Amino acid sequence: EYRRPGANPKTHRLGILGHDIAHSRSPRIHRAPFDRIDLPSNVDLAPLLTALRPHYVGFAVTSPFKQAVAQAIFAPREAVNTLVRTADGWSGFNADVEGAKAVFDVLRAREVTVLGDGGVADALREAAGSDVTLRFVRRDDAETVSGTAIYTWPASIDMPNKLRFVDARVAIIAY
């Protein structure tokens, strides 16, 4: 098992927090020394993060916990995908924002339909600023989509039955 030189294995660990993370890209992106912590989707995160803090210096956060973790640590943003231990708690960051900015640079669209409203959608909101108008579509409301769209639902979730693309250009956020 890999450990950073000089790191105390009891207090300097790294982990991935998620639900059904085997279907996520995170385990392939974040290899050793990341511990995989696969949690029930309804876990109470605040006490869990408090209990894990003495043992971990950071976490990659994946679906469906990006928004819930942000709330649990009182982050100034709506979703986080990275946690770093601080002297008195956790700091949360969202590396998805840079990726979202890159998507908008490639799409060059002023209006974009976002399919999904989870943690990646929060990164898209932050990256869009006032330059791009976003329209969010939840799974139950997904029907015909045209124009420029960004598909944010994980591969582990089936595409909505009624969803159809007509004259659409679609970017897919894969995770």
Kindly indicate the confidence band of residue 8, based on its pLDDT and cuts at 50, 70 and 90.
low
Cβ atoms of 174 and 62 closer than 8 Å: no
Per-residue three-class SS string for 44-88: CHHHHHHHHCCCEEEEEECCCCHHHHHHHCCCCCCCCCEEEEECC
Kindly indicate the confidence band of residue 154, based on its pLDDT and cuts at 50, 70 and 90.
confident
In the three-class reduction of DSSP (H, G, I as helix; E, B as strand; rest coil), residue 100 is classed as: helix
Whole-number average pLDDT of the chain: 86
From the list 10, 66, 101, 162, the catalytic residue is: 66
What number is the average pLDDT over the span 20-46?
Answer: 76
Whole-number percent of the chain with pLDDT over 70? 86
Kindly indicate the confidence band of residue 166, based on its pLDDT and cuts at 50, 70 and 90.
very high
pLDDT computed for residue 24 by the predictor: 60
What number is the average pLDDT over the span 156-161?
Answer: 85
Cβ atoms of 115 and 145 closer than 8 Å: yes
pLDDT computed for residue 21 by the predictor: 78
Could you report the per-residue pLDDT of 61-98, keeping only the tens digit for each?
988 899 999 999 999 988 899 999 999 999 999 988 88
| pLDDT of residue 25 exceeding 90 | no
| pLDDT of residue 43 exceeding 80 | yes
| pLDDT of residue 3 exceeding 50 | no
pTM: 0.70
Answer yes or no: 101 catalytic: no
Q: Which residues contact 124 (CB under 8 A, 6 or more apart)?
A: 100, 103, 112, 114, 134, 150, 152
Kindly indicate the confidence band of residue 28, based on its pLDDT and cuts at 50, 70 and 90.
low
Residue with the larger pLDDT of the pair 118 and 43: 43
